[in-house]
Chains A and B, each alone.
Chain A
Amino acid sequence: MKRIFSAKTQKRKDAKVELFKLRNYAIKIFKISAPLRLCAFAFISLFAFATVQAQIAVKGETVWTMAGEPITNGIVLIKDGKIEAVGAASQIQIPSNYKIISAKVVTPGLIDAHSVIGLAGYLNQPQDQMQIETSSSMQPELRAIDAYNAEEKLIEWVRSFGVTTIHTGHAPGALISGQTMIAKTFGKEVEDVTIIPTAMIAATLGESALESGGKSPGTRAKQVSMLRAALIKAQESIRAADNDKNKNQNTKNSGGNKNSPANLNDSNPGAKNPNSVLKTPPTPAYQSSPGQQNQNESNPSSDLRSDMMQKVIRREIPLMITAQRAQDIMNALRLAKEFNIKIVLDGAAESYMILDQIKASGFPVIIHPTMFRAGGETENLSMETASKLKAAGIPFALQSGLENYVPKTRVVLYEAGIAAANGLSRRDALAAITIDAAKIIGLDKRIGSLEKNKDADIAMYDGDPFEYTTHCVGTIINGKVVSEIVR
């Protein structure tokens, strides 16, 4: 059996223990409040994760590019935050001024196709739980960017396992809980990290989104009825606006948010090529101030709710519909067909029961975490669902999902490992948290694989990434080393 830790690694770990002890000591002495404690931690963290600005050459005994076969003794050159070149060591000359980082296994930075971290804080107290708002069962106007805490501890946590991009936002549990966003996992403010501010609209069908005490929706049929009513209202608003424009001979296109993964080469949702609904042009980083952001909005009216539903009708933004039971998944597909909208199926515990219908729809699936607990509407979930979707040719990704207790978040690396132990090939399992996840969130031109001109997002491991006893030894985002913790 190989030795797990080098002496250096152990030393580093010991140092980290000391750091924790020191911090704890400081807390004891000053009896500082919880928020202050977080600040103190962040402050210490700044020193711990000092970023490296130099150009970098990453050498890997195995480099999983996810764009072709893995390379033995490969090199990834990084320049100005982008990947400059990828290839075998025999073919790539490392410029002399490049800092060399070596690892046993190198993969693209991992992508968590559906999370709630940044909104659902690790303390799990009312003041840090921003993933769901309960005053109304349909609130598509709630923006994830207005709630995202880029320095939340769980973001740092998943980053230390190699996760570089998360699709996160409002949680399942309401008929429409709000918007989702896509962010890199390193940066101080939401403006620094966001790639797509409004990625999808989070909807939920089934038991977990039922209201009680006479409030709607109280049944499955009511859930669909309410969604249909909202979509019909959006259709009519669009029609009315178009009529007005025709009257005014205004030919200006109503436009839309071009930063959404829904700007897809859409054709029809039943397209034979399942990737056709997933393609999207690369989108620039979201660096703009709120004022600039408005230029991208389609002249927002005061009815923010209807505006968002109109974007769904116009196929600019997909509904991500969390549905676990087969009947709820079918409800989602029926809805998508009726309104010709884009959807992404989420959770989908019973998806293996209706593979043909899902396949025919062409819509992708973001499967529940492999280790998700079975019970209630997920009672029939299986660790083999990923392999069954793969065999059926249905595009899918894995996710960390929503956790309301302990652990407060899962780690997609682990979830993919369990999928790999249950019928999925290691390569397909890795794809489900890299390139295939990138396709579903509409960013495969930019992230998800190690290819020239893509973002330099890289994860490094000291062995098979899926093995429990392997460590993530470093994470690079946009060409910067953002985690050196051995975890």
Chain B
Amino acid sequence: MKKNLLSFLALFLFVCSLYGQEKPTAFINAKIIPIVGQPIEQGVLIVQNGKITAVGDARTVRLSSDVVQIDVSGKIIMPGLVDSHSHIGEPAGADGSAPIQPDVRILDSVNPRASSIQRAQAGGITTVNVMPGSGHLDSGQTLYLKLRDDANTIDDLLIYDKDGKYMGGIKFANGTNPMRGSGGFPGTRAKSAALVREQFIKAREYREKIQKAGKDQSKLPPRDLAMEMLGEVLDGKRVVHFHTHRHDDIMTALRLQKEFGFRLVLHHVSEGWKVADEIAKANVPASVIMIDSPGGKLEAVDVRYETAAILDKAGVLVGFHTDDYITDSRLFMRSAALAVRAGMTRDKALYGLTMANAKILDLDKRVGSLEVGKDADFIVLSGDPLSVYTHVLQTWVEGRKVFDRTDPKDYLIAVGGAGATNDKLIHISCFDDDFGGQK
């Protein structure tokens, strides 16, 4: 009997939590950095059912009588961070059989319980583009995820578009990483470009066959997962996330974009500062990586802290990314701060952690800023987001707290220590809190 009751209670609480808070919750007295709009010194943020219902000055926002108030005096609230390029969840996309594998989905590879996902939550990241690696010209489809808590399967993290399809892009790369020179992989840069062009031309032909067939099923070409996917790319339904470092490789990516008309985001862009005007002219956004020192590979020898500032001044939409594990998701804000160190404005740097990446992922209507109607994805900080001494205190995704630095288990994830890198044990019961993360 008792067991049944407990099970019922557990289920009840679980269902409750799934539907978020029925009552509105107001976070009061924090400094709010909404990203879109001016910072609010004495702010109020109201969330309900996973959405933002109000954001503004404490003197103007009226609190209804049923609102639950949470005092966050002295703290800073800003939107949850959006990471446009990460490898959390231990993903592995294409295998070594071919250099171009658009058919491979990273969906089938991400471990939703990985500690790296928890570390991203601890770093204030709420939305992320999980990508396969850069050892292929095309290593497969990427996945846009919301870092909701207690994901039991990958489905619990997906983001769906208005047509009900889970969202993601496709990963391309040029430069040295895919140049393996054997097993069908290119040995030179020109060969790299030729192989990609060849596939896009095939995809064009495949698409034409489908268009010609019209409603006549008998004339349809046999299904080809790779061609179907590149067709989506040609149709502009799927963004190409292009790993590219050197200035000439960046220009090659732009040249391919011009030839085939796909939607393009440049990633890493170590030498983007050399071709900033060209990138701006192509109207292509850039996702920049901030690395402590130059080198480590030939195409990163001219990487510079100033890249983000130079691209921004040239008029390029600039986001940042962790490339986790290359940089640690827990220190994502550091990337923006180092860009400020090298001349970027504060506003643009914070924009690069949030709205710019939301735009890059086609999610700017839903995340990236604190605006009414958007998802209640936000973080509570102990201080200035650009200070080394600032910690993420809380991370909220769609109105649910997914990280709390005062929780010992979450604290362990935030600073590291014994067992911090263990995969998460998922539990169903909401009150069974001692069994959640660690052994």
The chain A residues found within 8 Å of chain B, CB to CB, are 1, 4-5, 10, 13, 17, 20-21, 24, 121-125, 153-154, 157-158, 350, 352-353, 371, 373-375, 379-384, 403, 405-411, 414, 417-418, 420-422, 466-471, 487
Contact yes or no, A406 B343, CB < 8 A: no
5 pairs of residues in contact across A and B, judged by CB atoms under 8 Å: A122-B296, A123-B301, A380-B420, A468-B341, A469-B337
Closest 5 A/B residue pairs (Cβ): A122-B295, A468-B337, A406-B296, A408-B296, A382-B416
Stretch at the interface among B23-31, B201-209, B324-332: B324-332
Report if B211 contacts A (CB, 8 A). no
Closest residue of chain A to B325 (Cβ to Cβ) is: A373
CB distance from B274 to the nearest CB of A (A): 6
| A422 CA to B171 CA, complexed, in Å | 36
- For the complex, is B291 an interface residue (Cβ under 8 Å from A)? yes
Pair B418/A380 contact, Cβ less than 8 Å: yes
Q: Do residues A406 and B388 form an inter-chain contact, with CB atoms below 8 A?
A: no
Nearest chain A CB to B89's CB is how many angstroms away?
Answer: 14
Check A380 against B421 for contact (C-beta < 8 Å): yes
B contact set with A: CB distance below 8 Å: 247, 273-274, 291-298, 300-302, 304-306, 310, 325-326, 328, 331, 334, 337-338, 340-341, 343, 346, 386-391, 415-421
Q: Tell me if A469 and B341 are in contact (CB < 8 A).
A: yes
Say which residue of A13, A124, A380, A467 sits within 8 Å of B297 (CB atoms). A124
B293 contacts which chain A residues (CB < 8 A)?
122, 154, 157-158, 407-411
**Would you call B416 and A467 a contact (CB within 8 A)?**
no
With A125-B298, A408-B295 as known contacts, state yes or no: A380 contacts B341, CB within 8 Å.
no
The answer on a CB contact under 8 Å between B298 and A407 is no
CB < 8 Å neighbour of A5 from B328, B343, B387? B343
Q: Judging by beta carbons under 8 Å apart, are A374 and B292 in contact?
A: no
Task: Provide the residues of chain B in CB contact with A153, threshold 8 Å.
Answer: 294-295, 301
With CB as the reference atom, state the residue of chain B lying closest to A468.
B337
Distance in Å: Cβ of A40 to nearest Cβ of chain B: 13
State whether B297 touches A17 (Cβ < 8 A).
Answer: no
**Chain A residues near B416 (CB-CB < 8 A):** 374, 380-384
Name which of A21, A353, A374, A469 has the most chain B CB atoms within 10 A of its CB: A469
The SS class assigned to the B binding surface is loop
**Cα–Cα distance between A411 and B290 once the two chains are bound (Å):** 14
Give the number of A-B contacts (CB < 8 Å): 128
Verify B421–A406 contact, CB threshold 8 A: no
> Quick one: given A1-B346, A422-B415, A468-B338, are A21 and B274 in contact (CB under 8 Å)?
yes
- With a CB–CB cut-off of 8 A, which chain B residues contact A410? 292-293
Beta-carbon contact of A406 and B386 below 8 Å: no
Q: Could you tell me the distance in whole angstroms from the C-beta of B321 to the nearest C-beta in chain A?
A: 13
Identify which of A353, A403, A422, A487 contacts B418 (C-beta below 8 A): A353
Taking a contact as CB atoms closer than 8 A, the residue among A374, A408, A422, A467 that contacts B387 in the complex is: A467
Report whether A375 and B294 are in contact in the complex, using a CB–CB cutoff of 8 Å.
Answer: no
Q: How far is the CB of B37 from chain A (nearest CB, A)?
A: 18
- Bound complex: CA of A467 vs CA of B334, how far in Å? 10
Q: Which of B291, B296, B298, B346 has the most CB of A within 10 A?
A: B296
Q: A17-B310, A405-B296 are in contact. List 17 more A-B contacts (CB 8 A).
A: A4-B341, A20-B302, A124-B295, A153-B294, A157-B293, A375-B421, A379-B420, A383-B415, A406-B291, A408-B295, A417-B388, A420-B388, A420-B389, A421-B388, A421-B391, A467-B387, A487-B305
Give the distance in Å from the alpha carbon of A468 to the alpha carbon of B388 in the complex: 6
In the assembled complex, which residues on chain B have CB atoms less than 8 Å from the CB atom of A382? 415-417, 420
The minimal Cβ–Cβ distance linking A21 to chain B, given in whole angstroms, is 7
Which chain B residues lie closer than 8 Å to A353 at the CB level? 418
- List A contacts of B387 (CB < 8 A): 467-468
Q: Which residues of B contact A422 (CB under 8 A)?
A: 415
State A111–B190 Cα separation when bound (angstroms). 45
Contact of A406 among B297, B304, B417 (CB under 8 A): B297
Cα-based distance from A467 to B273 in the complex (angstroms): 25
